[in-house]
Every structure is written in C-alpha cells, then in structure tokens.
Structure 1
C-alpha cells in the first residue's frame, strides 16, 4: 500500500517540473496505459501515470481559465462578487472578484484587482467595475519568487486595475469581514492587525517591519493560520475530553476516543472556516483527518502512512499545491518530526523533547529552504522554543475565546486586550532577536552539493549510534562553506534585473561588485528594497564597491536609499547628484574617469551640454576581453549624438536601450556608431508610456539588433568577456509561464 501511495504521489508531484502540459491526446494515452497497468505487476507504473494524468488535467483547466490574449491590457466593464478579505490599507484597495461576467467577453472565474484611491470594498458585495485586465504576470529575477506560479496555484485567471465602479449590492453573508472589522475596532494594545492575522488568517494589515521580524526569526507560521494552529485547537479539544475521561467525568455511555477525535476535527474545521478555508487550511485539515483516523482505527499501520495518505489527498484535491513553497515546508516539517520521534528507544524528558523538536525542525528544513531559495533564520530554534508555547497556550486561546465572546459586554474586549498585550511583548522579544542576528540569505548551491547537504541533514536526524552519523556535520556545513563559482579574471557577470518601469544592473568581476541604477521607488512600492537588495544578497554580493546612479529620476535612483541601508556601499556616484537625497552622499559623475577591476575596464561619460535630468545621465562603458557593454541611463537623441562624436565613442557588443526604448532615443546616429549585436530593454510590461516605441523596434530590426526585453524575458544574464548569448529568466520553459 505504501509503495502504491508513493508512486501516485510522485506522479502528482511530477507536474512541478514539466516544461509544458502535454496535449489532450498524450494525457489520455497516459491515463489509459495507467489503467491497463493496474491489474498487472506494473501497478506502480500505472499509479504513477494516473497521478501524472490527473495533475496535467487539473493544470490545463487552470491554464484554460486564464484571460484570453485578445483581452490583455484592455479595459472592460464587468460585474462580480467580492470574495475573501479585501486589503484596505494605504491608498490602494486590493481584493478578489468571483462570478465575474461581461457582456463583451468571457472572463476567468477569479480576478485579483487593485483600485488606487478606491472606496472601501467589503467581502460579499457585488460591484460593476471598469477594469484594465491583464494576464497573470510578475517580475522574475534570479533566485526570487515566481508570481505567475503562485497566481496559477491560487487559480487566479487575471489581474487588473479598477478605473471606475459602482456598488450594485451590499454584502451578503460576509460574516468574516464583519468579524475583522470588529477585531480592528477593539483595543488590543496596538496589535489589532496581528490579532486579525492570528484569528482570521488575514495578514494584509501587518506592517512591513513586523513581517521582517517574523521572517528573520523563522516565526511567520505563528501569525499565519497553518497546520500548527489547526492541530493545536484539535489537540486542545482532544486533550480536554481525554482528561475528562481519565478523571471519570466523561459520560460512561459515550466512548471517549471517537468523541475526542470527532469533536477535535469539528473544532479544527470550524477554525478553518473562520480562516476562510484557503489551500493551506484545507491541507492542514486533510492531514489532521488522516492522523485522527489513524488514531481511531489504524494505529497498527505506523505513523508514516497517515502522512503519505495526507500528501496524496492534498495533491488529488489540488495538484497545483506543489507550486507553493508552503506545501513543501509544511509536509517537510511533519516528516522531520515523524522521522525523529518515532521508533526511538526510551523516552526524552518533556522539556528536552520540546527543545530538540525545534532544533530538529530547523535542521531538517534547511535543505528545503535551500532548494526553495528562501532565507534561513539562524535564530529560529531559539525563537520558536518560547514563541510557539507563547502563542499556542496563551495568545491563541485568549484570542479565539475573546472573539467568540465579543457579543458579551466587556468580556470579549478584555480577553482581546490581554491577548494584544501578550503579542506586543512577544514582538518586542522577537525584534531583539532579529536585530541580534538577521536571517541568512544563502547563495545558490549546485544540485550535487545540495544532495550532499540533504544527506548530512538526514544523517543528523537519525538516532545516536547509527554508523557514520558524525559525517552529517561536514556534509551539512557545505551549505555555508561549499566553493562557489567565481567570475573568471577578465570577465564580468552582468544582470539586467526585472524591475518593471525602471532600471537596475548588477555587474560583478572576480573580486568587485557594482550596481548601475537601483530600481524604482514610488509611493509604498520600493523595488530597491523588494527586489534589488534581496537579489544582490542571493547573488552573493555582501558589499558594493560602487553604486552608480545614472540620474536622479525615481525610476532609476528611487531604490538607492534601501540598498544603502541594507548593504555596505564604498562609494556612490551619480549624474545630477545635487538632486539626490543628502543621505546618499553621492559624488558627481566624473566625465572621462577610467579604472580597472580584475582585468575589466570601466569608463564614465556625461554630456556637458545637458539641459534636463535625462540628458544628465552618467554613461558607463564596460570592456572585458574585447567585448563591450554600454549603459546609457535615460540619454535621449541629442545626448546620443554628443556621445557619438566624443573621443570615447566606439563599437559595442551590447547596448542598454536608452530611456527604456522611448521614441526620443536609440537614434540612428547612436546605432550606427555602436553597431551592437543586441539591445537590453528594461521596462514595465503594461507601462503607460508605450515603451518600447514601434519606431525604435523597427530601427533595431533594420540594423539587425536582437532585443532582450525584461518584460518578455525577465531578468537577463550576460557574461561579458566570453562572447556568449544573454539568457533570460523566462527562456527555460515552465508550463505556468505565459509565453506571450
């Protein structure tokens, strides 16, 4: 039975690595072969093929429900019902719409919308909206999250921005939104948003600094309704009935074990409904159901089978769950505890067992975090030792009981006030831990080294006395000390990051690193903090020798303060430095300055006759082993002509398309002088400026210049000095990525 379940699970999980979903004919053939194999010795192959076939059918249904390409970027009037808990904070209202329909077009079942400056929107309301619809898309950078995979896993068929709208009907049966509003109105000592996250699983209201503290200490799972919360509530109910039965206070005519299992699951299911019964909660309830069923009827089957059955049940219910990091983390955590606490000789002291559980989970999840390219919290074992019981035994019971008793005057508010005070004290301690040791952002490992790290973690999870267990330590330490690939002398690794309508280039030689522009920051969207800084860390850049800002516009220099706060920067140079914030301490661009790093030449140029910010751009020419790259910022046609007549003007191999490919740039004078092989364009897919302009694209085509567009290919990597071709992050096919 176990091998059959494992084969089925592997078939369902194989969807995660498919470059494309097979055609209907191939899927039907796989399913038919799988059915034919079941009665024979090839039963395992049959189960594998059936699992893969079902996963492919489910994935194709989600892909077919995406917005039609003909509607991409169009504004459509539609009607629909608001679902979930809308995000009301700041100037933007974000919410999801279901049952959307339009007279002119067929729409996906679920839409994710944002409304800048919009009115309050509540769950259950029906709206008529004018929406600029977009196919699911996201910025894609090295070792960063893949938003398209997340949207597909949540079966969001389109995103969009609301231009206008009117409410057609008030909320119906939107009790969760009512509970949220009531929780936000009570006095919880400034921790109302945290209570909403804990009770309703809605973390949208948490401040960014609180998320940073939770991530740095590995305690995000405590403020997001997860398997731990579901299992805790079920365990409290189960333990209460077991204690009553042991004391003789449980009715003798009622067998206590079935009632404990049934009422425990009912409590967990009710909590899941309160949390919206999203995919993580569904997964937790399925796992709990398997565990309780095992406890009730099948204890002789061991503890591994319920976990395997839960895995298969979750994947059969939602095969796309494997695209979400939370799926792997939750099952891996349970698997680690199952492995380490089952089949041990003797018993551990209760407090010793609790401390070991946190340490072993951190150890066992390390390979998973490395594979998912997520930050690793060094302080997580220590933080969870006190934070888990703090939340589980004190805050959560008070919060749930207070929410339940809100209709009773003063009682509910008092309990929530106490819960908020406990949360405030916990966050103060966690903040101190986060300041003491931030999360570690590991560099990517090769698959071979990662396999050795996995082997090391597995050896250390085994009981003492197992032969060769001590070898786990050196294997595990490869995660930190494994030799990384270094840029060869005389070459430079160049990344054009995908930062939407902005610009950010990372350049690394063997021993030096620089950043050319730092991405945009507008309003509460700082891509310097959200994308540029995390990407630098994941690329192994721990300090910058130079941050060169082409000019002072927000789409180029807006992210610079966040980068400066997060990394040591030896020097900041900028075009139009006087217009930048004083905190940057930027030096002016020195026209004609030239230097070398590790056999790579760099030189700066700035037009003395510049009359505006774009013309003031500081231009960088990089040459590595005879191959050249020209970074131009937002230089326009007059500035390009001035550069073309300067003594530094030369042929280049790669050109950063000036001003994102606007009509006023990429003049024929520049293209004739530089004669590049390719042009790198950084722009937002749905930008309001029409970049890149059709005339510019036609000039590139006429001159035989290949275009590498970040909106189409994601972040682009170029190894200057080996005369190879650039590689876009979207070039390797994945079935969930939009090929358009």
Structure 2
C-alpha cells in the first residue's frame, strides 16, 4: 500500500511490486495506480477551486485580475509544477499540454465544439513529441478523453437526481469500457473481464479518497498512513475479483486489419446513433475476437527461438501441441524473461503449453520458469527444478533421461541426454543438460542441445545415437568448451543458432567455435543479430529472423550513392 501512495505522490512506479502490477492489470485498474492524466487533472481542479476561493478574499486582487481567470491560470501552473514533481513523464506531459490548450481557448474567449478542442490538444502533443504516436498510452488517453467528451455531451443536463447521476456514471463507464476494449486487445493482447466492476469501485475511491489524502500528506505526513490504510481494502477487493473464473482473457494477436476493424467497431457502437445502426459495429469485432493463428500441418513442426538475451528459450509447436524448451534468465526479483517475453508471446500465439522442459538448473535456462508456470499451470514439467520452488512443484517434475520418447501429431520427440540420472546429484548442471531431438514425419530434424560440453558430446558420439539434424541449437551458447569438430560433423546442420546476449560478458559465441561451424558449411546465426528466429520443418532450408524481416527504422541500411 505504501508503494501505491508513493506512486500517486511522486510518480515512483518502481515502488509498486511486480506482483501488484499484475493484479492491477488483471483487474483493469493499472491506470489509477500512478500519476496519470486523471490525477493531474483532479489536482488542477482542486488547486483552481482553492485559488479562486482565496483570490475572492482580496478586493484588490479581484480588481487586478478576475478570480476565474486567476484560478484558471493558477490551476494550470500548479498542475505543471505537480507534473514536474512527478518526474515529467509522458502521461504528465500529455495532460499538461491538453490542460494548457483548453485554458488558452477559454482565456481567449473561444468556444469551440468538443471535437475541435480534442483535435487541437492531440495536435499539440504530437507536435511536441511526434514519437507519442508509437506509444499505447497516447492512444488510450485520447480515445478515452474523446469518448468521455462524447458521453458528457450526450448526457449534459440529464443527470439531476442521485439515481440519475448513478445511472450516468454506469453508462459512462460502460461506454468507455466498450470503446477501449478493442484498443486494449490491439495494444496489450488482454482484456480484464472484471474491469468494469473494478473500475466502478476503484475510480471514485482512488480519485476522491486515496489521491487527495496522498497529496495532502505532503503538508501533514500522517495522512500518508491514512492513505495507505485506505489502499489496503481496495487491494483486498481487487484480489478477490482477480480470482473470479475467467477474470482475464488473452485472445491471440490478430493481424492489423482485424485489430483496426475491431477498434472501429468499438467506436461505432458508442456513437450517438439509433441502436439498429449501432449494432452494425458488432460484425467488425468478430475477426479479432475469434482469430486463431495458423498452426503447423500434421506431421510437421515449427521452432520459435525467442530473443531473451543471454539464455535459451525455444518454443516447439506441432499441429495440436506445444513444448517450451528453457525459459531464459532471471534478472532480479521483479524481472525475468518469462514474465517479460515468454508469457506475452504465448498469449499472443494463443498457446496452451503441454510440456515445459528445462534443460538444466542454471539461471539463464530456468530463470523465467516460475512466471511461465504461473501463467500455464497445466504444463507438465520435465528436466531441472529450482530448489526455491514449492516442494509440490518440485515433486511434479519428471527428470530427463536418454530413451524417453513420445509422438505428437506425427512428430517424434526423443531425449538423447543425460545418458543416466545416477550421478545427477554430483555432476555439474551443464553435464546433465537435457538434449532433445525432434523429427518431422517427412524427415527434417531439429536438435536442442542445452549446455552440454565436449565430454558429453563425445559420450553421445560413442553411444552411436542419431544426431543428424537440419537445425541445431548450439550447445552452451557457442562456448569454447563445446562444439567439437567431430560433433559438428556428426550433426551436420544446415542452420546453427546461438542464443546469447549482445556483447555478453562470457564472449559467446567464441570466434573459434563460429569458425569451426562455418568451415563445415554451416550457417551460424546469433540471436543478438537475428532477434527472434523462426524455422519450420516444412521449409527446412529457410530460417527467418525477426530483426531482418521487420527492422526498426533506425536499423535501415544506408542507400549507396554512385
């Protein structure tokens, strides 16, 4: 609760724990839990009201400058000061720009329709910061403000009694939710199905109780304790809502045309039109809501090696199943590759994991496993476990051992290493890495080698196990201790992927290792240069690199001039 108070007063969003952020996102109230346009506007309104009351106490001040004008200018200036105190983040900048535009128009005596004011404020923000167009907060802010403008214009003069005001509040909340839900799906790939209820309770409580107490605490610090006490029942309520069945929905990421059609449909539904015409917006929502990504044909499989920095993480997909091999590193208590990369990736693809295989217990391979298992609790766990996990989770894991085989949709999976588990407790983690071989029905093969070293490579060669593969996850990120010339000759891959961080401190991949692969005609690709790499058994000669196929504008190659 203290973290929320700190975020509301000085904009320190890091004061809120990552688990709390997940709770706020799950219930659709994350926008309330830090300094945002809502809080700055509330501060400006309160400051203007207090300044106007104080100004009217002096006849000389009123003769020099009318109280409404002084309140308007003072409110904007104090909102600017509050935004600077909060760190001058982009949401604060947008809000100050919009308040300034409205104040200038009012001081000039110009009374424009709401949509012209809205467009002018939007133009002012974009002129000041053109990159705002690439930020989700920009679109959420302006769409929400536009919807609120439209709703208030429609309801103006209607809500007179308490019951009418309550109905107007419900209607406004429903309108904003309906308009922003498709946009939230497009930008974040998730929808909080309890968000309407949570916001109906959280918006007035945070706006009218918690935030004023937090701000007044700057004048009398004991009020911060009271604000924190007021946060606690709200968190308890949100935790209860988050436990509802299907509290969140993660639709697969639809293509741009379907997502934009859904946004247009959401806006169409809230326009001031007869309901018979409004309902014509519903068909525009269907492509995005029911979209299902294409899956491999029966007998084939695809590999997606996520860009997780210094670590391994490869998603294997067949026609009806999926396996995740390793989960990348954990950087700290609130940051790991599972939470930041893999869980959003699985949601975007609409994946429901069947197996999570952890090659061995090093941090760069199991660091994100906790987040993945929380998001995908149905996944069967194979391989290594983290000693810090609950005992029940550790007992549910199945150790890797050579000879384990299974088939999914005509695709064969076989564990080649470790050759035994008798000495697993005494051996170094790398030497016990799970090595997985995947064979499509028509022959193309992939080999995921974990962090095995030359001794384990030699043991596999001595056993005469099938090692030939078209696609290889290079052992130990291309370390000097792995990838012997004999191993490379036995595997003879077309493509060899090194998953390693950009300019990592280990020097992966080692130059001699890369030279050995290239000397045998193998294409070596690093995740630092490729980004996310995709390979399919249906096209074994081709490997796609996300960074090459969809480069950022600053990665554009210069045009040669003759």
TM-score by length of structure 1 reads 0.68
The answer to whether structure 1 residue 359 and structure 2 residue 169 are counterparts is: no
The answer to whether structure 1 residue 376 and structure 2 residue 191 are counterparts is: yes
2:23 is aligned to: 213
Secondary structure of the residue that 2:553 maps to in structure 1? coil
The answer to whether structure 1 residue 268 and structure 2 residue 79 are counterparts is: yes
How many residues align? The count is 542
CA contact (8 A) 1:574 1:586 kept: yes
In 2, the alpha carbon distance for the partners of 1:259 and 1:192 equals 35
TM-superposed deviation, 1:346: 6.6
The answer to whether structure 1 residue 528 and structure 2 residue 333 are counterparts is: no
Please give the per-residue CA displacement for 1:563-605, whole angstroms capped at 9, x wherever unaligned. 2232133432216999997423222224223222112121111
**Most deviating of 628-637 and 698-707:** 698-707
In 2, the alpha carbon distance for the partners of 1:241 and 1:355 equals 32
Please give the per-residue CA displacement for 1:461-516, whole angstroms capped at 9, x wherever unaligned. 11241553113234324433234323222221211112222211111111111111
Secondary structure of the residue that 2:437 maps to in structure 1? strand
CA contact (8 A) 2:155 2:168 kept: no
In 1, the alpha carbon distance for the partners of 2:292 and 2:328 equals 30
* Unaligned residue ranges in structure 1 (runs of 5+): 1-190, 406-411
CA contact (8 A) 1:626 1:721 kept: no
CA contact (8 A) 2:431 2:452 kept: yes
Instruction: Name which of 328, 335, 338 aligns with 2:149.
Output: 338
**Most deviating of 647-656 and 478-487:** 478-487
Instruction: Name which of 470, 473, 476 aligns with 1:656.
Output: 473
In 1, the alpha carbon distance for the partners of 2:60 and 2:180 equals 41
The answer to whether structure 1 residue 392 and structure 2 residue 196 are counterparts is: no
Query: How do 1:279-358 and structure 2 match up within 5 A?
Result: 279-297=90-108, 299-342=110-153, 347-348=158-159, 349-358=164-173
The answer to whether structure 1 residue 619 and structure 2 residue 435 are counterparts is: yes
CA contact (8 A) 1:577 1:586 kept: no
Query: How do 1:161-172 and structure 2 match up within 5 A?
Result: none
* Unaligned residue ranges in structure 2 (runs of 5+): none
Higher fraction of helix? 2
Instruction: Name which of 423, 439, 457 aligns with 2:231.
Output: 423
TM-superposed deviation, 1:738: 9.2
Q: Aligned-residue CA RMSD in angstroms?
A: 3.0
**Most deviating of 545-554 and 235-244:** 235-244
In 2, the alpha carbon distance for the partners of 1:556 and 1:223 equals 33
Change over 3 Å in CA distance of 1:192–1:547 after alignment to 2 = closer
TM-superposed deviation, 1:631: 0.6
Change over 3 Å in CA distance of 1:522–1:236 after alignment to 2 = closer
In 2, the alpha carbon distance for the partners of 1:721 and 1:539 equals 19
In 2, the alpha carbon distance for the partners of 1:541 and 1:274 equals 43
In 2, the alpha carbon distance for the partners of 1:284 and 1:645 equals 68
In 1, the alpha carbon distance for the partners of 2:390 and 2:53 equals 64
Instruction: Name which of 518, 533, 536 aligns with 1:716.
Output: 533
2:545 is aligned to: 728
Instruction: Name which of 500, 523, 546 aligns with 2:355.
Output: 546
2:307 is aligned to: 498
Secondary structure of the residue that 2:243 maps to in structure 1? helix
In 2, the alpha carbon distance for the partners of 1:490 and 1:279 equals 49
Secondary structure of the residue that 1:614 maps to in structure 2? helix
TM-superposed deviation, 1:736: 4.0
The answer to whether structure 1 residue 601 and structure 2 residue 412 are counterparts is: yes
In 1, the alpha carbon distance for the partners of 2:280 and 2:374 equals 40
Q: Runs in 1 of length 4+ with deviation above 6 angstroms?
A: 241-247, 249-252, 575-581
1:481 is aligned to: 290
In 1, the alpha carbon distance for the partners of 2:362 and 2:467 equals 27
In 2, the alpha carbon distance for the partners of 1:276 and 1:576 equals 41
Secondary structure of the residue that 1:393 maps to in structure 2? helix
In 2, the alpha carbon distance for the partners of 1:726 and 1:219 equals 41
CA contact (8 A) 1:629 1:653 kept: yes
Query: How do 1:544-693 and structure 2 match up within 5 A?
Result: 544-574=353-383, 582=391, 583-584=393-394, 585-608=396-419, 612-624=428-440, 625-693=442-510
Please give the per-residue CA displacement for 1:267-314, whole angstroms capped at 9, x wherever unaligned. 312211221223321221011111223344455321112222222222
TM-score by length of structure 2 reads 0.88
